[in-house]
Chain A
Amino acid sequence: MAAGDAPTGSELTRLSAAEIAAAVASGDVSAVEVTQAHLDRIVAVDPDVHAFLHVAGIGALAAAEGVDRKRAAGEPLGPLAGVPLALKDVMTTADMPTTCGSKILEGWRPPYDATVTKRLRAAGVVILGKTNMDEFAMGSSTENSAYGPSHNPWDLTRIPGGSSGGSSAAVAAYEAPLAIGTDTGGSIRQPAAVCGIVGMKPTYGGSSRYGLVAFASSLDTPGPLARTVLDAALLHEVMSGHDPCDSTSVDAPVPPVVAAARHADVSGLRVGVVTEFSGGGSQTGVQARFTEAVELLESLGAKVVEVSCPHFTYALPAYYLIAPSECSSNLARFDAMRYGLRVGDDGVRSADEVMALTREAGFGPEVKRRIMLGTYALSSGYYDAYYGKAQQVRTRITQDFEAAFEQVDVLVSPTTPTTAFPLGERADDPMAMYLADLFTIPSDLAGNAAISVPCGLAPEDGLPVGLQIMAPALADDRAYRVAAAVEAALEQRWGGPLLAQAKELREQAGETR
């Protein structure tokens, strides 16, 4: 925008969260105008993208009015006041349904807000609605949603990633500058990578799980998605911090992520390329862009070395024992008794029968597979060989990280082995689908911090590639610092953000919901 010209209408949807917050704070635009522009954009493109399961237009405009009133009254505004956001439908919201992409929770209105939801509201962030996801966050494509898949804004015939695929699609389609996702095996970073945006998995315990419908409690981590590294950091800061309601919440200050995103300097930083993730196994164009990103880091003054993490190749099998085991226990709560779906309660059938019929009708195939897999891994006779062994592998992977971080400050790899694959291609091939998380899982198992930042397009298909930067636990700021340096250098090379290279989505006329 030209200096002095306040952006209007659809221009507002192209601004970063930082720009929107500044424009709202200065009075150049009102939070209501910004919110309306994004609601209009949702009406225009979401029939094709299907990022949202629920749009809360009235509530969003009311929240925006609240921000405008505060500003008019001269009250202090938070750093993201008046900025619209898309919230993954796994976070409870007292004024909106929370379905987790499942039929078993269709129409469920939780009686309370998640801590993350509460913090967003308190900061004046405007929640536009709830985004689509793989059922209970199990998947890498949103195809496991009971409400149909979301579509990648770069190519509507392809997956937007998952499980936070509604969130990544919303941000990439300019329906919201910010979104919340959750990462259990890569569910923030992989969708961010395939949609050409930024996604951060904070250190486990850095962001609260209270009100996050549990999938695998020892892994689930909420985090930000955004179009810029700075925006992700601003959201990270607003949503994070100790929460007494979550006993695994880290009681320590939030790392200085915003300062790090502004201090985009890697000179002297030691960067480790993970040997096990940099050989074959990735799509040619993914490998090419990754190699270029490493060379770029070197040219920016980083000292690049190769580091072997021998147990990382066992992360995927360990994860697909640990996560299903925890899921089989966590999802036992969907018992048709206290909330959600109930099927077959005819006055004759027992609670046990009603439970089995309800879970049969309410859960999709991937959730059923994982519940049974977890039940198997935890069974007596198999426990030591599967779940017990997987927990030892988890220790080994964490030890690999510890040894690596003695030699280097951060580790890098491609975020995901391929670009966005076509919808339907892996829908009924669980093992092929699981491979999408090959590079992201180690950081989930170890609980450290990892970010995905766009690093170009694969020449063979013109689709985005993500660079993953992994940092030690509680060194989230270090991941931001590297990501910001890569972003700044690449945008200079490209002449603008990567997303500007995506073709415009068709806009449809319609009424604001």
Chain B
Amino acid sequence: MSITRDEVAHLARLSRLALTDAELDHFAGQLDQIIGAVARVQEVAAEGIPPMTHAVPVANVFRDDVEVPCLTPEQALSGAPAAEQSRFRVPRILTED
């Protein structure tokens, strides 16, 4: 067993997924199987091999500092679940304690 149900519950919390108990049972078995399979990467001799993050080695891409049109407030808010006074309205982010 490479991953336990409790660990999956912890991952779900980190991932902001309010999983049901049934989902936790189901995913725990599947994730265990997947992690067991992908752990094969550890068989590859990689001593001194640099990690590859990107297919094309590009860094520091600059553009001229020219103003370009951007979204209007109406456009930016057009998909908002809730909006007020040209702002996104969100649930409370602080707790009492």
Which residues of A are interface residues toward B (Cβ below 8 A)? 108-112, 204-205, 218-219, 244, 247-248, 250, 311, 314, 317-318, 320-321, 328, 332, 335-342, 345, 347, 349-357, 359-360, 363, 365, 368-369, 371-373, 375-377, 379, 385-386, 388-396, 398, 430-431, 445-448, 473
Size band of the B side of the interface?
35 or more
A-B CB contact pairs (8 Å), 7 listed: A218-B53, A248-B54, A338-B88, A349-B91, A351-B93, A373-B35, A376-B7
A368 to chain B, nearest CB (A): 6
Which residues of chain B come closer than 8 Å to A360, judged between CB atoms? 17-20
Contact of B43 among A219, A314, A372 (CB under 8 A): A314
Q: Would B92 and A247 count as touching, CB distance under 8 A? A: no
Which residues of chain A come closer than 8 Å to B51, judged between CB atoms? 388, 391-392, 394-395
**Bound Cα distance from A355 to B55, whole angstroms:** 33
Q: Is B56 an interface residue (CB 8 A)?
A: yes
**Bound Cα distance from A356 to B91, whole angstroms:** 12
Across the interface, name the chain B residue whose C-beta is closest to A368: B17
Which residues of chain B come closer than 8 Å to A385, judged between CB atoms? 39, 42
**Bound Cα distance from A286 to B22, whole angstroms:** 39
**Bound Cα distance from A391 to B35, whole angstroms:** 16
**Bound Cα distance from A328 to B15, whole angstroms:** 8
**Bound Cα distance from A325 to B47, whole angstroms:** 22
Which residues of chain B come closer than 8 Å to A321, judged between CB atoms? 38, 41
Given A341-B81, A368-B23, A392-B49: A359 in contact with B34 (beta carbons within 8 A): no
B20-41: which have CB < 8 Å to A? 20, 23, 26-27, 30-31, 33-35, 37-41
**Bound Cα distance from A247 to B56, whole angstroms:** 11
Which residues of chain A come closer than 8 Å to B7, judged between CB atoms? 376
Q: What 7 pairs across the A-B complex have the smallest Cβ distances?
A: A447-B55, A339-B79, A391-B51, A342-B81, A392-B46, A204-B55, A111-B75
A394 to chain B, nearest CB (A): 4
A36 to chain B, nearest CB (A): 31
Q: Would B46 and A393 count as touching, CB distance under 8 A? A: yes
B37 to chain A, nearest CB (A): 6
**Bound Cα distance from A398 to B53, whole angstroms:** 12
Q: Would A350 and B95 count as touching, CB distance under 8 A? A: yes
Contact of B82 among A345, A371, A389, A398 (CB under 8 A): A345
Which residues of chain A come closer than 8 Å to B93, judged between CB atoms? 350-352
Across the interface, name the chain B residue whose C-beta is closest to A360: B18
**Bound Cα distance from A373 to B13, whole angstroms:** 13
Q: Do most interface residues of chain A lie in helix, strand or loop, or is the interface mixed?
A: helix
Which residues of chain A come closer than 8 Å to B88, judged between CB atoms? 337-338
Beyond A353-B91, A431-B37, 11 extra complex contacts between A and B, CB < 8 Å? A204-B56, A317-B40, A318-B38, A337-B90, A339-B79, A339-B81, A351-B93, A369-B30, A372-B15, A392-B44, A392-B50
How many interface contacts (CB-CB < 8 Å) are there between A and B? 180
Which residues of chain B come closer than 8 Å to A345, judged between CB atoms? 81-82, 91
Q: Is B1 an interface residue (CB 8 A)?
A: no
**Bound Cα distance from A108 to B11, whole angstroms:** 28
Which residues of chain A come closer than 8 Å to B44, judged between CB atoms? 311, 314, 389, 392-393, 396
Taking each of A204, A248, A391, which has the highest tally of chain B beta carbons within 10 Å of its own beta carbon? A391
Which residues of B are interface residues toward A (Cβ below 8 A)? 3, 7-8, 11-20, 23, 26-27, 30-31, 33-35, 37-44, 46, 49-56, 58, 61, 63, 71, 75-76, 78-82, 88, 90-93, 95
A353 to chain B, nearest CB (A): 8
**Bound Cα distance from A337 to B88, whole angstroms:** 7
Q: Would B11 and A375 count as touching, CB distance under 8 A? A: yes
**Bound Cα distance from A376 to B23, whole angstroms:** 17
Which residues of chain B come closer than 8 Å to A363, judged between CB atoms? 17
Which residues of chain B come closer than 8 Å to A376, judged between CB atoms? 3, 7, 11, 31, 35
Q: Would A368 and B78 count as touching, CB distance under 8 A? A: no
**Bound Cα distance from A360 to B50, whole angstroms:** 37
Which residues of chain B come closer than 8 Å to A369, judged between CB atoms? 27, 30-31, 34
Contact of B15 among A111, A250, A375, A395 (CB under 8 A): A375
Which residues of chain B come closer than 8 Å to A340, judged between CB atoms? 79, 81
A203 to chain B, nearest CB (A): 8
Q: Would A395 and B49 count as touching, CB distance under 8 A? A: yes
**Bound Cα distance from A33 to B88, whole angstroms:** 45
Which residues of chain B come closer than 8 Å to A372, judged between CB atoms? 8, 11-12, 15, 17, 27, 31
Contact of B17 among A205, A350, A359, A395 (CB under 8 A): A359
Taking each of A109, A349, A394, A448, which has the highest tally of chain B beta carbons within 10 Å of its own beta carbon? A394
Which residues of chain B come closer than 8 Å to A108, judged between CB atoms? 79
Which residues of chain A come closer than 8 Å to B63, judged between CB atoms? 244
Given A328-B15, A340-B79, A368-B23: A395 in contact with B52 (beta carbons within 8 A): yes
Across the interface, name the chain A residue whose C-beta is closest to B92: A350
Which residues of chain A come closer than 8 Å to B78, judged between CB atoms? 109, 111
Taking each of B17, B43, B53, B58, which has the highest tally of chain A beta carbons within 10 Å of its own beta carbon? B17
Which residues of chain A come closer than 8 Å to B76, judged between CB atoms? 111
B42 to chain A, nearest CB (A): 6
**Bound Cα distance from A473 to B3, whole angstroms:** 38
Across the interface, name the chain B residue whose C-beta is closest to A218: B54
Which residues of chain B come closer than 8 Å to A332, judged between CB atoms? 16
Which residues of chain A come closer than 8 Å to B54, judged between CB atoms? 218, 248, 447
Q: Would A354 and B17 count as touching, CB distance under 8 A? A: no
Across the interface, name the chain A residue whose C-beta is closest to B50: A395
**Bound Cα distance from A321 to B71, whole angstroms:** 35
Contact of B41 among A109, A359, A373, A393 (CB under 8 A): A393
Which residues of chain B come closer than 8 Å to A392, judged between CB atoms? 44, 46, 49-52
